[in-house]
Structure 1
């Protein structure tokens, strides 16, 4: 058996394992809904900018209007999502990924 064939069989076994499937499930369970929510939020901002100009132009504080606040909240939400993902990965993804990596490394010894 060549090294390449051995590597392929190791990775195929890992991919077929229940731990790897659980890792994929945890990743998808968080990222898919969060991505959909962020895209909906972003598209709402774009739609409001294009078709609700009077609403977006409402002044809140001096020359600061609703559109500016919603635009700045796009940046805030991006950073919050990145922080929340890092926290989710630290707690739910990384421990399982580390376990799988160590199992693969032990098989190669």
Structure 2
């Protein structure tokens, strides 16, 4: 029985040289990396601000608009319960949207940068 792991697929078996700190700095300062960072930030920051505002609106309404939040919609279901459950829905929606955004825009760019670094370019 051997404890040696098999080499990764497509590899020659020799370990790849790790990029140096200088190579990481060069990539970080490249226009391609700046575009990747911009694509991430232009999606993540606005959605984060919007969700925090939505959450704070819910908290403020809960504290200062008790009559409105206690308004019964049907049966024992009131506005507060519906808005509270909508917080969960919003969270899952944002996660799904980010997943799509990352798969379409971020992952291909990151993979291209990674491939160039691993190739030593």
TM interval, shorter chain, is: over 0.9
Q: Structure 2 residue aligned with 1:87, among 70, 87, 100?
A: 100
Note if 1:15 corresponds to 2:28: yes
Q: If the length of structure 1 is used for normalisation, what is the TM-score?
A: 0.93
**Cα distance between partner residues in 1 of 2:44 and 2:74:** 35
Q: Please report how far the alpha carbon of residue 14 of structure 1 lies from its aligned counterpart in structure 2 after TM superposition.
A: 0.5
Note if 1:42 corresponds to 2:55: yes
Q: Which runs of 5+ in 2 are unaligned?
A: 1-16
Q: Which runs of 5+ in 1 are unaligned?
A: none
Structure 1 segment 3-82 matched on structure 2, within 5 A: 7-82=20-95
Q: Find the counterpart in structure 2 of residue 105 from structure 1.
A: 118
Superposed CA offset, 1:53-81 (max 9, x none): 00000001100000000000000000000
CA RMSD of aligned residues (A): 1.4
Choose 1 or 2 for highest CA Rg: 2
**Cα distance between partner residues in 2 of 1:16 and 1:106:** 18
**Cα distance between partner residues in 1 of 2:74 and 2:36:** 46
The structure whose residues are more often helix, as a share, is 1
Q: If the length of structure 2 is used for normalisation, what is the TM-score?
A: 0.84
